[in-house]
A and B are shown apart, each in its own frame.
Chain A
Amino acid sequence: MRQIMKIAVCIKQVPATTKVEVDPKTGILKREGIDSKLNPYDLYALETALRIKAALAGTSITVFTMGPPQSEEIIREAYMMGVDDGFILSDGAFAGSDVLATSWTLAQGILETGPFDLIICGKQSTDGDTAQVGSELAEFLNIPHLCNVLHITELDQNSLTVEMDLPLHRQRAIVRLPALLAVEKGIYEPRLPSFLKQKATADRPVRRLKLSDLPDQDKNHYGLDGSATQVARIFPPETNQVRVTWDGPEDETAQKAFELLVKGKFLQQTR
């Protein structure tokens, strides 16, 4: 029987705006005024961990992030919410990581500093938007994962009962720990960072893990080399800002509207 529940939460720093725009004249990206913030979905992962900590005495929460050195800011923010410890995985060797390499790197950091009973991730990030890192991380840690977690209805040191969103139904399931949860937005209302905690944790270190600190030392598993996918090119989206006027007889207009609905797949079988 475990005495203490150890929770790891994976978080990410994302651009404060989702508008990455290319200047049409110079072809240079507009970066003015782009700040960074904690991925909003991760707030729900943090809050879930903090609620579990409040329910189970002796729980400790560690956050992990992979990113440039300035990502330390979001670990400080997590401290202000009540998180106990934090690691930043930061190394030039991690540059260009896709989902596979990112998940591998996070798994290595968690293996190095764990074991953890429960890993919690947000649903997705607002910049990458893939919602895949949690599942791949669970695979690399060889633990089960549950996605789209809407509620935690029961918990103890060894298991959780959760409700999950499925395409047509909801599923209630018991999962024995260790396990990974990816929680839905809105599972709990995230608390605000506390000024008192900010003062209390001002001197708490954020520990940095470089490639040389990780169990797997093979450089080919990290960064661009460890990535299975590559961005071949990026290009502006086709704007569908058409403006069409149909001002003929109403029956003809209705026919055109009907064809548009077919083309837009609005009449396909819906469930």
Chain B
Amino acid sequence: MTMAELVIHPEKISDLRQLPRYCPFGAIVIENGQPAITAACKMCRLCVRKGPSGVFELRESIEQPIDLSGWNGIAVYVEHEQGAIHPVTLELLGKAGELAKVSPQPIYCLFIGQGIRDAADKLLSYNVDNIFVYEHPELEHFRIEPYSAAFADFIAAIRPSIVLVGGTTVGRALAPRLAARFRTGLTADCTSLEIQPDGALAQIRPAFGGNIMAHIITPKRRPQFATVRYKIFPMPLPEVTQRGEITVCPLKPEWFNSAIDVVEIMPKPRVKGIEDAEVIIAAGRAIKKPEDLEMLRELAGLLNGELAATRPLIEAGMVEPQRQIGLSGRTVKPKLLITCGISGAIQFVAGMRGSETIMSINIDPEANIFKIAHYCLVGDLYKIVPALIERIKKSKDNRQFLAAVEKCHHEQL
């Protein structure tokens, strides 16, 4: 039984040669003078919406109602290494809380590992109803088969409607395995999640290279799996009161059968070039002395970023050549670039125009850099940068940060 198919009505075609143009994936072909749809079709339905009237039709048969009512709750997989919880887990719990406000249902955590009870206790402060703990020495290191077995046990027993997994290397290996085991859908790297009152999850992610956004649904299967990268959702604040509980789950020895032996856990080499940095502080000609770079280094450190510079500072020997941005240096695409005292010569701009957010500090309101920057900070960098550093440092441990976070929450809600 076919539930949906694309049908072409040849009698409504006025110009056969034009038809392939309506498909961004080249799935519409002309074979022996007849139009046909190939396996390249992604069912994006653009041909139905944008094609010549009546030529493309999406035929959907009446679907049998399916029982989704047995699935309830939002589960967050706890990403951790040796009990150190990855912050993406808290971000997902924050989102789960928002979703549960619209479609009331319990929030669960799934915590698999060894020596994780203390960490589980701490998680109770994050608006969770029940933390399901699978703890065993065999689960000390991530191995796909035992972790999948415990995860599958949790899904089969609890039947959550939604499963959120951090888009880390482990999460992205684990989530698809489970989605396949339950023959259900998984949407990777969602940038936005919304929920209908009936619990249907709207998963938004960039598609086809990021120039188009796709709204993806999992209409007929459960759970609805989604992975989300770190720092996509805001970090929630811990609650003063804990209402949830911890459930220690029994394990079965056959889960530990694995073809994988972990030999060694090694530190990650921390060689990070400016090309890989998510945050870059770029210094320009307005920096006069090597010691003035210190405040920019400090700012970079506070934002977990890297220092970079324009050519004049490289030539003056103030900054290493591998930190040069521009045509004769490196091309960078950080999430945030803060330029400090850079006028914005074409050669420099060529190396940074792909940056996601560009904040530029320059004393000259006519500076070329302000034609590129998203945020134009007109003023003296020797005043703005120290004032900014001071605020960031304060925020690390005082309420001002919490207030700012809260303000940002309200704006987003």
Contacts and interface: CB of A to CB of B under 8 A. Distances in A.
Partners in one complex: yes
Interface of A: 15, 17-22, 27-29, 31, 34, 36, 66-70, 89-92, 94-100, 103, 126-127, 129-136, 138-140, 143-148, 161, 163-177, 179, 182, 219-220, 223-225, 227-237, 240-247, 249-251, 253-255, 257-271
B215 A235 contact: yes
Interface in B204-218: 206-218
B21 interface: yes
Contact of A257 (B84, B207, B377): B377
A174 B261 contact: yes
A169 B265 CA distance: 7
B159 interface: no
B216 A173 contact: no
Contacts of A176: 259-260
Contacts of B214: 231, 233-234
A177 to B, nearest CB: 8
Contacts of B213: 234-237
Interface in B227-262: 231, 234-235, 258-262
Nearest to B370: A245
A20 to B, nearest CB: 5
Interface string B2-29: 1111100000000000001111111101
B42 A237 contact: no
Nearest to B169: A148
B408 interface: yes
A28 B52 CA distance: 11
11 contacts: A96-B41, A136-B180, A220-B1, A224-B5, A234-B215, A242-B374, A246-B377, A254-B391, A264-B336, A267-B392, A269-B87
B27 A169 contact: no
Contact of A167 (B86, B208, B380): B86
Contacts of A231: 42-45, 207, 214-216
A176 B39 CA distance: 35
Interface stretch (B66-74, B125-133, B186-194): B186-194
B83 to A, nearest CB: 12
Contacts of B168: 167
B211 A20 contact: yes
B188 A232 contact: no
A189 B66 CA distance: 49
A251 B383 contact: yes
Nearest to A31: B21
Contacts of A235: 212-213, 215
Q: By DSSP majority rule, is chain A's interface helix, strand, loop, or mixed? A: mixed
Interface in B23-67: 23-27, 29, 36-46, 50
Of B260, B357, B374, B392, chain A has the most CB atoms within 10 Å of the CB of: B260
B21 A126 contact: no
Contact of B187 (A92, A143, A229): A229
A90 B39 contact: yes
B287 interface: no
A262 B41 contact: no
Interface in B358-413: 359, 365, 370, 373-380, 383-385, 387-388, 390-392, 395, 401, 404-405, 407-408, 411
A82 to B, nearest CB: 27
A234 B44 CA distance: 7
Interface string B332-359: 0001100000000000000000001101
B330 interface: no
Interface of B: 1-6, 20-27, 29, 36-46, 50, 79, 81, 84, 86-87, 141-145, 148, 168-170, 172-177, 179-181, 183-189, 202-203, 206-221, 231, 234-235, 258-268, 279, 303-304, 335-336, 356-357, 359, 365, 370, 373-380, 383-385, 387-388, 390-392, 395, 401, 404-405, 407-408, 411
Contact of A250 (B206, B383, B392): B383
Contact of A145 (B26, B144, B220): B144
A255 B24 CA distance: 45
Contact of A67 (B39, B87, B202): B39
B169 A261 contact: no
Contacts of B148: 139
B379 A233 contact: no
B351 to A, nearest CB: 19
Contact of A254 (B20, B86, B206, B388): B388
Given A147-B173, A166-B142, A237 B359 contact: no
B50 A27 contact: yes
A90 B36 CA distance: 13
Nearest to B372: A243
A28 B50 contact: yes
B238 to A, nearest CB: 12
B141 A171 contact: yes
B169 to A, nearest CB: 5
Contacts of B50: 27-29
A90 B27 CA distance: 12
Contacts of A100: 179-180, 183-186
B39 A259 contact: no
Given A22-B212, A96-B6, A236-B211, 10 more contacts: A89-B39, A96-B43, A144-B144, A164-B169, A167-B81, A172-B265, A224-B5, A230-B217, A230-B218, A236-B213
Given A130-B189, A145-B144, A147-B169, A135 B209 contact: no
A144 B259 CA distance: 7
B209 A230 contact: no
B183 A228 contact: yes
Contacts of B207: 129, 231, 234
Nearest to A68: B38
A172 B268 CA distance: 12
B411 A264 contact: no
B39 A240 contact: no
Given A136-B177, A166-B169, A258 B404 contact: yes
